[in-house]
């Protein structure tokens, strides 16, 4: 049975930290579906379509990666896709509490689905989509933080 993992997130926008987790996840799983979510309470800078476009560009040439939009309950989506694993990245301790809560909630909803965490590389430990947006809005250079085309999109958004 091929092992498929669902990698859910906002990816607003995709960063090199996200991509690092994806690449390392591909060494463990046969296929990874990046599920671009919409939180009713979370306002995003980029639309779902824009976020998917950037992810498609950033993963061009990578095998066994799919990108989809999802809404609703994650666990239902995971089952619909025939996957058994939810993949998430972990940075500092600050991620842990939220991720633990999220993983335990999903386990309560369906005990057969596991959440697997991949620890970030030290160099991406500080990196988040939010900090990238803040820095971009002030005209900072984003070398090594996001793919070049994402940096370009951010500049266009903020007109900097
Ligand atoms: P969400 O809104 O669901 O937290 P994000 O797009 O912010 O979605 O993140 C998606 C996943 O990628 C999360 O598991 C997050 O912890 C992980 N992630 C984000 N940035 C990094 C990074 N720099 N290194 C490793 N994992 C990361």
What percent of the chain has pLDDT above 70?
Answer: 100
Pocket test for ligand 1, best of 9, 40, 95 (most atoms within 8 A of CB): 9
Nearest to 69 by CA among 141, 133, 11, 149: 11
73 domain residue, yes or no:
yes
Which CATH number do you get for residue 26?
A: 3.40.50.620
How many A from CA of 83 to the centre of ligand 1? 20
Residue 65 counted as domain residue: yes
pLDDT, tens only, 135-146: 999 999 999 999
**Does residue 41 sit within a domain?**
yes
77 within 8 A of 35, measured Cβ to Cβ: yes
The response to whether residue 44 sits with its C-beta less than 6 Å from ligand 1 reads no
- Domain count along the chain: 1
Asked if residue 98 belongs to a domain, the reply is yes
Look up the domain containing 101 and give its range: 4-122
Residue 149 lies in a domain: no
Banded model confidence at residue 101, pLDDT cuts 50, 70, 90? very high
Nearest to 153 by CA among 69, 61, 65, 44: 44
> Nearest 5°: CA angle at 136, between 16 and 122?
35
Task: Note whether residue 115 is domain-resident.
Answer: yes
Whether the CB of 77 sits within 6 Å of ligand 1: no
């Amino acid at each position: 049975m091929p092992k498929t993992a669902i990698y859910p997130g906002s990816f607003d926008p995709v960063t090199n930290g996200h991509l690092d987790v994806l690449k390392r996840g591909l060494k463990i799983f046969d296929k990874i579906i990046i599920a671009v979510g919409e939180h009713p309470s979370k306002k995003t800078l980029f639309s779902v379509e824009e976020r998917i476009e950037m992810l498609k560009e950033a993963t061009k040439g990578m095998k066994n990666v799919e990108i989809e939009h999802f809404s609703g309950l994650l666990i239902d989506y995971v089952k619909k896709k025939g996957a058994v694993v939810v993949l998430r990245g972990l940075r500092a301790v600050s991620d842990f509490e939220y991720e633990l809560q999220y993983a335990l909630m999903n386990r309560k909803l369906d005990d057969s689905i596991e959440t697997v965490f991949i620890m970030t590389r030290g160099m991406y430990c500080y990196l988040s989509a939010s900090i990238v947006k803040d820095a971009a809005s002030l005209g900072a250079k984003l070398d090594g933080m996001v793919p070049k085309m994402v940096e370009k999109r951010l500049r266009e958004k903020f007109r900097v």
